[in-house]
């Protein structure tokens, strides 16, 4: 069947639109990379557009020389790995159980979970609860508070209900398989796509988490990477503003302080890229599962 002129025009417009959309999504990350590899003064002047200007890796040297960065990396890796495992331990069995029609009080239990998506106790009651449980200023507060997502529960439950035939479980029960064996030998192997999806979602959430650390962690040795980044992003500007307001800088000192401010700017870009790099590396390996799991949750939910 020959294509009409209108079809060809549509294809051209579609390709142009997709290229523009790709550019809009890709350019911020690309700019972060080229800005971190450029001379700070050129970045501050806005000379960096599409390639590095006066190529330098000084910002990365300064970042790697900052010991707190490595502590934050260590803590974030710990929170991400164990937080994700803890979340999977809670989410997958709960979703599998709630996918079974013969489970008693399945409706009220599901309503109880969904209710918490819209209504919560608030920051102050949560703070008091964390304090009374003795979780303040401990690494476990980062793992436990981010341990469960009702949305991930719903997506996983829908996958179990729609993608795995109940006949498989009935055959296993006839052969004498217990509920635990059905879960570990049938449900888990067949649920790899959705498990990969929620693993990625939990891992990204744990990797980027900083608000709970801001509220409940005071020890700098327990701070995640994102909180370290936040402090670095604001401290140089705060020092410069205070010094200018106090009129405490001589002209030469002010120039040096501004130079430090420009160097801190490229350090920020370097730190943002360093923080995002592990996720960028991990995503391609689970992309096929990610797409399949998202489609299952969206089309069959």
- Domains belonging to the chain, first-starting first, are 58-299 (1.10.3720.10)
pTM (whole model) above 0.95: no
Distance, C-alpha 273 to centroid of its chain: 14
Least confident of 55-69, 117-131, 144-158, 216-230: 55-69
Give the pLDDT band of residue 84 (cuts 50, 70, 90): very high
Q: What is the pLDDT of residue 290?
A: 63
Sort 107 into a burial class: Cβ within 10 Å, 0-12 / 13-18 / 19+.
exposed
Contact 149, 87 (CB under 8 A): yes
Q: Is 188 left (phi over 0), alpha (psi -120 to 50) or beta?
A: alpha
- The SS3 assignment for 53 reads coil
Helix/strand/coil for 4? coil
Q: Which of 40-54, 68-82, 110-124 has the lowest mean pLDDT?
A: 40-54
Mean pLDDT, residues 152-173 taken together: 86
**Residues across the chain:** 301
């Amino acid at each position: 069947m020959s294509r009409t002129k209108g079809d060809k025009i549509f294809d051209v417009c579609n390709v142009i639109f997709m290229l523009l959309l790709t550019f809009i999504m890709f350019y911020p990350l690309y700019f972060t990379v080229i800005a971190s590899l450029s001379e700070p003064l050129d970045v501050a002047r806005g000379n960096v557009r599409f390639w590095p200007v006066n190529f330098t890796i000084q910002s990365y040297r300064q970042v790697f020389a900052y010991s707190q960065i490595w502590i934050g990396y260590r803590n974030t890796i710990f929170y991400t790995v164990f937080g994700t495992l803890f979340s999977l331990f809670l989410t997958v069995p709960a979703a599998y159980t709630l996918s079974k029609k013969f489970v008693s009080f399945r409706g009220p239990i599901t309503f109880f979970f969904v209710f918490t998506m819209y209504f919560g106790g608030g920051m102050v009651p949560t703070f008091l609860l964390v304090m009374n449980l003795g979780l303040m200023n401990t690494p476990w507060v980062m793992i436990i508070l981010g341990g469960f997502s009702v949305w991930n529960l719903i997506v996983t439950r829908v996958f179990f209900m729609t993608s795995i035939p109940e006949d498989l479980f009935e055959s296993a029960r006839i052969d004498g398989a217990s509920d635990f064996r059905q879960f570990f030998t049938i449900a888990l192997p067949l649920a790899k796509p959705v498990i990969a999806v929620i693993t990625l979602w939990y891992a990204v959430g744990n990797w980027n988490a900083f608000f709970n650390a801001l509220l409940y962690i005071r020890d700098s040795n327990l701070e995640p990477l994102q909180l370290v980044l936040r402090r670095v992003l604001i401290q140089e500007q705060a020092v410069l503003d205070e010094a200018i307001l106090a009129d405490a800088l001589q002209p030469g000192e002010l120039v040096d302080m501004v130079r430090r401010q420009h160097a801190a700017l490229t350090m920020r870009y370097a730190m943002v890229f360093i923080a995002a790099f592990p996720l960028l590396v991990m995503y391609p390996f689970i992309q096929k599962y990610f797409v399949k799991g998202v489609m299952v949750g969206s089309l069959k939910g």
